[in-house]
Structure 1
Amino acid sequence: MSLQISILTPERPFWTGQAEEIILPTETGEMGVLKNHAPIITGLDVGAMLVRTKDEWNSFAIMGGFAVVKKNKVTILANEAESAEKIDTDEAKNAFESAKMNLESAEGVKQKVEANFAFKRAKARYQVVKVLNKRS
């Protein structure tokens, strides 16, 4: 394998493994990392992160943080992380639809900011579940 991946959250080391490719949800859009990527530190947005091993794609919901890429090692410091296997599909879909409606009806700056954050979290969780269901 070509990349050593470590996902760390404040509670615990979340996931460690080898990968061929990783797609990160950065603050400026999705960023792919392959072997021998240039060193970089980037902020992570709330979103879906995909990790391709030799055998399969793994999907994780990342709730913001930072990623460091250096010498074929990717270290992700995430505020929170969830793997697709641990997320209930129906609950994620319902939460996404509810958050979308709340965002559309939000009034005032504070309510819009809070609704947007809740929407991004729900969207990330729903996206990783959809990726998992496509593989099954």
Structure 2
Amino acid sequence: MSQEKLPTFGLQVISVNGMFYDDRAEEIILPLEDGELAILAEHEEMILALSDGVIKIKKPGGEWIYGVISLGSVQVANNRCIVIVNTVERPEDIDKRRAQEAYEFAMEHLQQKQSIKEFKKSQAGLARALTRLKAAAKYNE
């Protein structure tokens, strides 16, 4: 395999808790409502909503890093990509016990009579807990 360098773009991944990634990247794969989207250097301009899921960042040189995100958005313009999310954490930093407790709590609440707003909140909590549990198992090997 050739050792040619792939083109890169500027990437920032920001959450309420601070900066997760701020460097050049070869690729980022983002979770959307209807699947995943890969962004490479010189991608067309766009703004999209992100879903709970795992982002995959390919650093220059080929190393992949992963982050579990909650809802957010991405803006791509001028060979830069800015991802802004509510939360982001590395799979190895996920407290599996706490994620399991959040899953059980959300499941209990979904089975109770709730307002539409409470039901949607419980659904979101369940989705986030499932994402965290799956990512902790898959990417923490």
TM-score (norm 1): 0.79
Relative distance call for 1:110 and 1:96 in structure 2 (3 A) is same
Q: Distance in 1 between matches of 2:112 and 2:57?
A: 34
**Percent same amino acid among aligned pairs?**
26
1:6-25 alignment runs, 5 A limit: 6-25=12-31
1:17-56 alignment runs, 5 A limit: 17-53=23-59, 54-56=61-63
1:50-89 alignment runs, 5 A limit: 50-53=56-59, 54-89=61-96
| Secondary structure in 1 matching 2:16 | coil
User: How far does the alpha carbon of each residue in 1:77-121 deviate from its partner, in whole angstroms, 9 at most, with x for none?
Assistant: 1122112221134543x2465256336624443442122111111
Q: Distance in 1 between matches of 2:53 and 2:62?
A: 23
The structure number with the bigger radius of gyration is 2
Larger % of helix: which?
1
When the two structures are aligned, how many residues end up with a matched partner? Answer: 133
Query: Contact 2:103–2:125 (CA<8 Å) still a contact in 1?
Result: no
Q: Which runs of 5+ in 1 are unaligned?
A: none
Q: Distance in 2 between matches of 1:99 and 1:55?
A: 39
